[in-house]
Amino acid sequence: AHRRPGGDHWSAMSSLTDQTYLLQTQYRDSSNLDARITVHLRFSSNKTGWFRWYFEQLLQLPPAARVLDIGCGPARLWSDQFYRVPAGWHITLADLSPGMIEQARSNLAAAGADNDQRFAFRTADAQILPFDDDTFDAVFANHMLYHAPDIPRALAEIRRVLRPTGRLYAATNGDGHMAELNDLVAPFESDKALPPGPVRRFGLENGKEQLARWFVRIERRDYPDSLEITEAGPLVAYALSTSGMLWMPDAEPSAEELTRYFEALLARDGVIHIGKSTGLFIAVKPPLEKSPK
């Protein structure tokens, strides 16, 4: 098969931060992300649910908060928890992908937020936020900072647009997140398989030290969970949605191959267990201090 320039030296890291790839392939619309969200919604062992748990971490925000959700994706957090959004909040949903913004609008409309004046939408790059200094009481950056080519620049921008003592809520994964999935797919073109762990650019293990340059009172909160998968189809869709992340782009197995493989595992074991490591950093912008250079 044809290989990208650089052959085996091309890595998951390049696709993870390549904004052309992210915009035109992985996140052109919400279909890839939706495939992964569906698996988490249907097969997670923690019945609290990630979105509900996340909202429970926001109790310190004021009743009239201005909130920026950068890298909002299809806004499933907001459509799922729409009934809990305080009447006085004003939320700006921003994403690099216009396709994601359109899906966010659609999902919120379906949840009952059509023409809801609390929500605004715009395309934006976390590294060059189009907002004034000291605008927001809170910034959400969920499972996206590892996509930023320049993480310090993105964190500096988030701090800039936060008001003094405003909070950053940054969800991410840990080193062992879904490690079993990498093991499961190892038989498929394993000589071309991408190395696991690209989230290590900003993960649970190293996120605090990166945030410490810009924020104070940094707290990590873990969300215990796992997947107990009993159907092959959703797992196939999940695996194929990771094109360019889980495999080299020219080494992707077919849906038929994966289906036969996962169905055989389920026939043997009854369930496919995949562990998760995910959580949230909460960090505070210092009061009335100059940003570090």
Q: Is 248:10 a contact under the CB 8 Å cutoff?
A: yes
Q: Is the confidence at residue 88, as pLDDT, over 90?
A: yes
| Tokens of residue 165, six digits | 């003592």
Interatomic CA distance for residues 224 and 18, integer angstroms: 30
Please name every residue paired with 121 in a beta bridge, in sequence order, or none if there are none. 93
Residue 244: what pLDDT?
56
In this prediction, residue 16 has a pLDDT band, given cuts at 50, 70 and 90, of low
Superfamily covering domain 12-181+195-227+277-284: Vaccinia Virus protein VP39 (3.40.50.150)
Nearest residue to 144 (alpha-carbon basis) of 253, 62, 33: 33
For the chain, which residues make up each domain, given as ranges? Answer: 12-181+195-227+277-284
- The pLDDT value recorded for residue 3 is 30
pLDDT grade, residue 1 (50/70/90)? very low
pLDDT for res 6: 34
Q: What are phi and psi of 70, to 5 degrees?
A: -95, 130
- Of the listed ranges 24-28, 56-60, 82-86, the least confidently predicted one is 24-28
What is the distance between the alpha carbons of residues 59 and 57, in angstroms, rounded to a whole number? 6
pLDDT of residue 238: 87
The number of residues making up the chain comes to 293
| Percent share of the chain, pLDDT over 70 | 81
**116: confidence class by pLDDT, cuts 50, 70, 90:** very high
Poorest-pLDDT segment among 2-6, 22-26, 234-238: 2-6
What pLDDT, on a 0 to 100 scale, did the predictor assign at position 176? 85
Of 173-182, 185-194, 249-258, 271-280, minimum mean pLDDT range: 185-194
Res. 106 pLDDT band, cuts 50 70 90:
very high
Phi, psi of 216 (to 5 degrees): -125, 175
* Model confidence at 271: pLDDT above 80: yes
For all residues of the chain together, what is the average pLDDT? Answer: 85
Least confident of 26-30, 166-170, 181-185, 204-208: 26-30
CA dihedral 160→165→166→167, nearest 10 degrees, is 110
Give the mean pLDDT of 242-264.
76
Concatenate the DSSP letters of all residues of 65-109 into one string: -EEEEET-TT-HHHHHTGGGS-TT-EEEEEES-HHHHHHHHHHHI
The residue ranking higher by pLDDT, 22 or 227, is 227
Where are the strands (E) in 104-262, listed by range?
119-123, 136-140, 162-173, 216-223, 226-229
Q: Mean of the pLDDT values across residues 180-207?
A: 72
pLDDT at 185: 79
pLDDT, position 167: 98
> Within 10 A of 231 (CB to CB), how many other CB atoms are there?
14
Give the per-residue pLDDT at 13.
43
Other CB atoms within 10 Å distance of the CB of residue 292 = 9
Identify any residues that bridge with 123 across adjacent strands, giving them in sequence order: 95
Mean pLDDT (whole number) for 21-28:
51
Contacts of 108 (CB under 8 A, 6+ apart): 75, 78, 79, 82, 114, 116, 119
| Dihedral class, residue 165 (left if φ above 0, else alpha if ψ from -120 to 50, else beta) | left
